[in-house]
Structure 1
Amino acid sequence: MQQAVALTSQAASVRGVAVTCSARGTKQTARPRVCRVRATAAPEAEAETGTFAADFTKEIVEEEKKYILQTYARPDIVFTHGEGARMYDAFGKEYLDFAAGIAVNALGHGDQRWLEAVTEQAAVLSHVSNLFHTVPQVKLAKRLVESSFADRVFYANTGTEANEAAIKFARKYAKVKAGLDPYNADTALDCATDIVSFTGSFHGRTMGSLALTYKDQYRTPFQPVMPGNVMVPYMDLEAASAVIKKGRTAAVFVEPIQGEGGINPASKLFLMGLRKLCDEADALLVFDEVQVGLGRTGKLWGHQHHGVEPDMMTLAKPLAGGLPIGAVLLKEHVAAVMAPGDHGSTFAGNPLVCHAACAVFDIINTPEFLAGVERKGELLRSGLREALAGNPHVKEVRGLGLICGIQLDRMAGPLVTAARDRGVIVITAGKGDIVRLVPPLIVSEEEIATCCKVLGEVAKEVLA
């Protein structure tokens, strides 16, 4: 919002254009004012405004390439502000945001309740480290524990950090379970150490979580990654049974619904089978809900669709509504093996992000909100199936709640680009052959209908 105001103010002072601000929403859903540039006279002033936006965009893109490590392939678009499920670029062009910062912005952009929580906490206490107690950290942990299978919470800053923590917890648990002194280096490998994961998985990009992640292009440049990972086909219980063994397997990591892997929901039978295998092997079952946790599927936690409980669960993306946070939820038998100094983080669980996360949690964790996500998810999938019907290159539309994938028989990049040009932001998944839709959970039915209409039209153009 500040960037948008700065842009429009600069445009006004340099180009002689006016700034208009509007506020939308009811008292309950009011959002911050959105400022846009409009010309005071057409077409000359409008042309000047466009020229300024073009120059501004060019400058930002060029400086990004000059000063920032080039690990992202980005289009030449500079977003300046957002409102609800919509974003606006430097030209004032409006986009429907069906990516939500990769499933992060659960409440959309500029939610007034989230903004009030952030500013309220920022004004009094934002960070003290984990050397001291703070109120928001405890309040959020209580919410997470009382709404889940868990007894304890560990805070991190990201999803990959949460998974790294869970790997460490599982390794130490295996040592203690085997009756070993976990601090004795001579017996460090005399117990179960293997971590099992599955094809199609994405658990992060740090060296431990990367070892659990499927794509070779992510792993190969950085080999050797963490040793001790065993990867087997997703949804293949027979293959899992062959590698999950007592005395060898410390933990099994699985996404109840694979996001990056292609919006692949696990079956109840598969998750129940993994639970049984882990129990027989004294191994821990870990659910990675970094993308699908906290309401994305229409239930508070994705695994609730199947009635199978893990020993640990990792969370991150939507939890603080756009601020960086991660968490591991764990049962007491796992928590009991950890001691002060075993793991930590300077920034994790600071008062600012935890207070924001409490606000996000309280908004999402209501029967009405979750039912709305489920209803809108069904509308999205049925609308996409109708809009894409008859296109021979569309193989399937799948998902749960507001995480949806369109399986193509070719690369999805051209469709994603064409949709963006038409003002709808979607992203890819899988091998690049899947269109991924993860809109803000507050997206409206009208916005869903517009998205389906645009994707149907561009699919006819680029998937001919």
Structure 2
Amino acid sequence: MTAACLMSTYQPLALSFNKGLGTRLWDQDGREYLDAVAGVAVTNVGHSHPKIVAAISEQAGLLLHTSNLYSIDWQRQLAQKLTRLAGMDRAFFNNSGAEANETALKIARLHGWKKGIEQPLVVVMENAFHGRTLGTLSASDGPAVRLGFNKLPGDFVKVPFGDLNALEHVRKAHGSRIVAVLMEPIQGESGVQLAPSGYLKAVRDLCKRWGWLLMLDEIQTGIGRTGQWFAFQHEGIVPDVMTLAKGLGNGIPIGACLARGKAADLFTPGSHGSTFGGNPLACRVACTVLEIIEEQHLRENAREQGERLLTRLRMELADDPNVLAIRGQGLMIGIELKQPIRDLTMIAAREHGLLINVTRGQTIRLLPPLTIDEREVEMIVRGITRILKTA
């Protein structure tokens, strides 16, 4: 039950944890759980990783905050690492994914302003999710998250995800008002929806041809989750703008907006800022996360274990009449059900010691830490299979 002194924005399970290590969590009674949610794609290198613990402890004793009135060495180091990995030019650091997407939207506005467009439009996708600020909510879809907040800021036009013809239609309808396309490479909140093969590359080509910015929301897909550093790398392209958060800090709040080319030069002193964004603690932890992923070959493990998990789930659930589809890339997997199962997340936790997430009512979303091994893959498969066959 939610504490009376907290605003009713969540409906948490009657379950609380006081310890985490690797892929496991322990509740207040000492019971162990296999975490196949990872804080919704956050704890990519696992709970209480010793290098993360050491970095936090040492930095907390040195310096937490000075503000962006002064140069921050860890911020510069992180920007260098991320731009090198992504093929981008510059980075701006925020506190969250929604803030990172707000930064991207401001870049799109400035891009339009530079071109003399007085009422710029950004193309977004149906069933997308980009955050809960008023701006990012406008760019998102889904009646549940938008209920009570209309009329939201406009300046967006929605098209079906994966439909190239729809982009041609909006270009003809809105012409020179369009300045950018904002999209997730894989739609996470809507049920791990993958675009058709080649779609991302085709959108990249169209944006270049028409002078639009391609802005990719990699908040959930980035930092090794799909088996590459960033999901766009599966198609051999580079966007103009990219946003990150979640797994970048492994639980320490941090977001980032990266840009390249002309998009990287649109901000000027005073046109954007953040009090806490890019502080020494958050940036040092993020640098450590990147080091761990490289040292432990976690991108490769995400590819290997993700393929194993997909294969085993499809094998074990092939005859389940309630399973509509099983899809994913790397360790971002969705099991879409024909009919929702009431209290599914609680059943999985209580009866099987397995933490899962259900999104859009009927898709089981699996986002385990990138450190999982073959034995833990089998534990997830066994737990999901038992739940669905006895529900």
The two structures have a TM-score, normalised by structure 2, of 0.96
Aligned-partner Cα distance in 2 for 1:387–1:419: 17
Is the partner of 1:200 in helix, strand or coil?
coil
Q: What pairs up with 1:418-437 in 2 under 5 angstroms?
A: 418-421=347-350, 422-429=352-359, 431-437=360-366
8 A Cα contact 1:424 1:454, kept in partner: yes
- Residue 200 (structure 1) aligned with residue 130 (structure 2): no
Aligned-partner Cα distance in 2 for 1:238–1:418: 43
Structural RMSD (CA)? 1.4
Residue in 2 aligned with 1:461? 390
Deviation of the 1:302 alpha carbon: 0.6
Q: What pairs up with 1:229-244 in 2 under 5 angstroms?
A: 229-244=156-171
Q: Deviations over 1:350-405 (max 9, x none)?
A: 00000000000111135832111110101111121223231111122110110000
From 241, 254, 263, the counterpart of 2:183: 254
8 A Cα contact 1:192 1:247, kept in partner: no
Please tell me the residue identity of whatever aligns with 2:274: S
Residue in 1 aligned with 2:222? 293
Show structure 1 runs of 5+ residues with no match: 1-60, 179-189
Aligned-partner Cα distance in 1 for 2:291–2:119: 39
Deviation of the 1:192 alpha carbon: 5.2
Residue in 2 aligned with 1:409? 338
Deviation of the 1:412 alpha carbon: 4.5
Residue in 1 aligned with 2:154? 227
- Residue 370 (structure 1) aligned with residue 370 (structure 2): no
8 A Cα contact 1:412 1:428, kept in partner: no
Tell me the number of residue pairs that the alignment of Structure 1 and Structure 2 aligns: 388
Please tell me the residue identity of whatever aligns with 1:372: N
Which sits farther off after the overlay, 329-338 or 362-371? 362-371
Aligned-partner Cα distance in 1 for 2:175–2:197: 23
Show structure 2 runs of 5+ residues with no match: none
Please tell me the residue identity of whatever aligns with 1:133: S
Which sits farther off after the overlay, 273-282 or 136-145? 273-282
Deviation of the 1:204 alpha carbon: 0.4
Aligned-partner Cα distance in 1 for 2:263–2:305: 37
Q: Deviations over 1:292-330 (max 9, x none)?
A: 101000111111111122100000000011100000010
Deviation of the 1:220 alpha carbon: 3.1
Residue in 1 aligned with 2:254? 325
- Residue 439 (structure 1) aligned with residue 368 (structure 2): yes
Is the partner of 1:66 in helix, strand or coil?
coil
Residue in 1 aligned with 2:89? 151
CA separation of 1:339 and 1:412: change in aligned 2, threshold 3 A: farther
CA separation of 1:454 and 1:400: change in aligned 2, threshold 3 A: same
8 A Cα contact 1:79 1:90, kept in partner: yes
Please tell me the residue identity of whatever aligns with 1:223: N
Q: What pairs up with 1:43-54 in 2 under 5 angstroms?
A: none
8 A Cα contact 2:86 2:238, kept in partner: no
Which sits farther off after the overlay, 360-369 or 105-114? 360-369
Aligned-partner Cα distance in 2 for 1:144–1:246: 34
Residue in 2 aligned with 1:388? 317
Deviation of the 1:114 alpha carbon: 0.7
Residue in 1 aligned with 2:75? 137
Greater Rg by CA = 1
- Residue 120 (structure 1) aligned with residue 49 (structure 2): no
Aligned-partner Cα distance in 1 for 2:320–2:389: 7
Identity %: 39
Deviation of the 1:80 alpha carbon: 0.9
Aligned-partner Cα distance in 2 for 1:250–1:394: 40
Residue in 1 aligned with 2:26? 88
Aligned-partner Cα distance in 1 for 2:195–2:69: 40
8 A Cα contact 1:204 1:210, kept in partner: yes
Deviation of the 1:413 alpha carbon: 4.4
Q: Deviations over 1:110-132 (max 9, x none)?
A: 11011011111111011111111
Deviation of the 1:348 alpha carbon: 0.4
Is the partner of 1:247 in helix, strand or coil?
helix
8 A Cα contact 1:412 1:434, kept in partner: no
Deviation of the 1:226 alpha carbon: 1.5
Residue in 1 aligned with 2:46? 108
Please tell me the residue identity of whatever aligns with 1:332: G
8 A Cα contact 1:413 1:428, kept in partner: no
Is the partner of 1:365 in helix, strand or coil?
helix
CA separation of 1:150 and 1:338: change in aligned 2, threshold 3 A: same
Residue in 2 aligned with 1:310? 239
Q: Deviations over 1:31-68 (max 9, x none)?
A: xxxxxxxxxxxxxxxxxxxxxxxxxxxxxx5xx42111
Aligned-partner Cα distance in 1 for 2:126–2:342: 22
Is the partner of 2:93 in helix, strand or coil?
strand
8 A Cα contact 2:305 2:331, kept in partner: yes
Q: Deviations over 1:130-177 (max 9, x none)?
A: 111111101100000111121000111110100001001110111113
Is the partner of 2:147 in helix, strand or coil?
helix
